Amino acid sequence: MPKGHHYGRTQTRAYTGEYHRINANAFKSLLTTPLGSYSIDSEYLSANHRKLVLKENKNGVRYVTFTINDKPHKIALKLDNRSASNKLYITCPYCQKQRQHLYAIKHAYACRQCIGLHYASQSERPQDRLIRRIRKLRKELWGFDWPDVNNMFENIHYWPKPKGMRWKTFYMKRDKITELEKIYWPFVDSQIEKLSYLL
């Protein structure tokens, strides 16, 4: 891409290439085998990512459970009878959507989309993280339904002390938010500067 013609984030990170992928087809035999414990034969997977228990619910839908990091990860096996190929889908333990692949991440199995969302929240811009933190602290002090609690252009300096709170505590909490807002505003100024440069 020629210089000067790109804007925003064009970089895409290769999230999924880093993870071992399990294919829905690999579970196909589990549709007919007896219920019980099984193990995926793969040297790329951790012991917890390998061991699974096959069960069936009241409606006859089979599902497998992996216990990873002491938490159960339930994956349903869903056969698509509409297609001639009888394609098997496995459900993502996080979004419950039917997928053809799931990825073994550190303490779970998840679909590509859920992994992407996870990374998106990690690569959030620092000012977004800051604004979230400020809003959270404001809500803790003045409550969720305080008018303008989310409005960053409102000055908290004149907002009242909540009933029953000691003044000392109030000032301490408010000063903390004021400090963070002081860090936040230069970010905004530089954003506005960049914007006006582009316009």
Could you list the residues that contact Zn ion (CB under 5 A)?
Answer: 92, 94-95, 111, 114
Sequence-distant (≥ 6) Cβ neighbours of residue 118 within 8 angstroms: 110
Count of H-run helices and E-run strands, the chain: 4, 9
CB of residue 89 to Zn ion, shortest distance in Å: 12
Name the 3-class secondary structure at 194: helix
CB closer to Zn ion, 93 vs 181: 93
Using CB atoms, what's the residue nearest to Zn ion? Answer: 92
CB of residue 57 to Zn ion, shortest distance in Å: 20
Amino acid at 31: L
CB of residue 160 to Zn ion, shortest distance in Å: 44
Question: What DSSP designation does 98 have?
Answer: E
CB closer to Zn ion, 75 vs 92: 92
CB closer to Zn ion, 107 vs 135: 107
Burial class (CB in 10 A: 0-12, 13-18, 19+), 22: buried
CB closer to Zn ion, 119 vs 171: 119
